[in-house]
């Protein structure tokens, strides 16, 4: 009946949050106390809710109960299937209040908002340079460590970022996926196309040479 009356007689003494049933309050209190009574028998990881433990166990059993009726891909959690379905429907329920850009997930929207706010929460401990994405920080750190995880199987050259390897592979395959809509010339890198477009717009060119300007 409390779902109809919205009655919430149980309140947290720590933060004042109110609940409709006592068991939910008990789970909530664990946030303040750090109590996690539900532990995984396989790896020992602990959780504050039994449902979280149930979901976690599927990592070990690889049980995937939720399947996509369109492509057959399966998932351990229902919400992952819900998000996946948007790749078929094109649904993007989350929109940016600043520019109107839409997203299929809330996480990418939060990252996008940093473009407008200028927030860069991920900082490099070596040079204090900051980034809006943790992945960008990970790649940046390799400039200090010299780590190059991506190797070209053709010539053995190594790179610190997968996108750099992808661009490099085009020197072997001859692929030029970026084309000029005005004259039809093709380029192996988007930066080459951007520079080329200035020859049409009249914008002042940079002094570096573009060698890939033939179709």
d(CA 215, CA 212): 8
Q: Is 128-175 the same fold as 1-63?
A: yes
| pLDDT at residue 215, as a whole number | 43
CATH numeric code, 1-63: 3.30.160.60
Give the CATH class of 128-175.
Answer: alpha beta
Summarised one tens digit per residue, pLDDT across range 156-179 is 999 988 888 999 999 999 999 999
| CATH superfamily for domain 64-119 | Classic Zinc Finger (3.30.160.60)
Per-residue DSSP letters for 53-118?
HHHHHHHHH----EE-TTT--EESSHHHHHHHHHHHH----EE-TTT--EESSHHHHHHHHHHHH-
Q: Where are the domains of the chain?
A: 1-63, 64-119, 128-175, 176-215
Ranges under pLDDT 70 in the chain: 204-215
Which residues on adjacent β-strands are paired with residue 103? 94
Q: Supply the pTM of this predicted model.
A: 0.49
Residue where the block lists tokens 């492509």: 71
| pLDDT at residue 98, as a whole number | 93
| pLDDT at residue 112, as a whole number | 94
């Amino acid at each position: 009946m409390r779902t109809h009356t919205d009655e919430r007689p149980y309140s947290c003494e720590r933060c004042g949050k109110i609940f409709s049933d006592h068991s939910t309050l008990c789970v909530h209190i664990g946030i303040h106390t750090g109590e996690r009574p539900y532990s995984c028998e396989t790896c020992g990881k602990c959780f504050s809710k039994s449902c979280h433990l149930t979901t976690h166990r599927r990592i070990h059993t690889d049980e995937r109960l939720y399947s996509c009726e369109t492509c057959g891909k399966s998932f351990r959690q229902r919400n992952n299937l819900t998000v996946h379905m948007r790749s078929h429907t094109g649904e993007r329920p989350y929109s940016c209040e600043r520019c109107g850009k839409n997203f299929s997930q809330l996480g990418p929207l939060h990252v996008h908002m940093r473009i407008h706010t200028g927030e860069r929460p991920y900082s490099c401990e070596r040079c204090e340079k900051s980034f809006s994405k943790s992945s960008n920080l990970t790649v940046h750190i390799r400039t200090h460590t010299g780590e190059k995880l991506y190797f070209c199987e053709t010539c053995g050259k190594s790179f610190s970022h997968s996108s750099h390897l992808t661009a490099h592979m085009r020197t072997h395959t001859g692929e030029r996926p970026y084309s000029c809509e005005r004259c039809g010339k093709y380029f192996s890198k988007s930066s080459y196309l951007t520079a080329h477009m200035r020859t049409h717009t009249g914008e002042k060119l940079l002094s570096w040479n573009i060698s890939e300007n033939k179709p």
